[in-house]
Amino acid sequence: MTIEVVVKTNSKESKVVIKGNVYCVYTKSPAKEGKANEEVIELLSKHFDIPKSTISIKQGFKYRRKIIQIKE
């Protein structure tokens, strides 16, 4: 499964919100040294109740908009 994610960094709380076909992921982590990307994967794994190893970022490592691949 492939999903589109928009990341909002430096938020007050970490959460996943679905807006249409796009998942908005709010992270407390800053967008430095991949910390926000790690938190995105962690939050999505909790949201979908799957292991973190099944989630990978396919596009957008350095951008707010990302394409995430979830292995089934």
Per the CB < 8 A criterion, the answer to whether 28 and 39 are in contact is yes
Residue 63, Cβ neighbours under 10 Å: how many? Answer: 10
At residue 33, what are phi and psi to the nearest 5 degrees? Answer: 55, 30
Question: Pairing mode, if any, of strands 2-8 and 15-19?
Answer: unpaired
Q: Look at domain 2-70 and name its CATH class.
A: alpha beta
User: Going residue by residue through the chain (72 aa), what tens digit of pLDDT does each one get?
Assistant: 999 999 999 999 999 999 999 999 999 999 999 999 999 999 999 999 999 999 999 999 999 999 999 997
| Backbone angle region of 56, left / alpha / beta, with phi > 0 → left and psi within -120 to 50 → alpha | beta
Structural domain boundaries in the chain: 2-70
- Which candidate, 50, 2, 42, places its Cα nearest to that of 26? 42
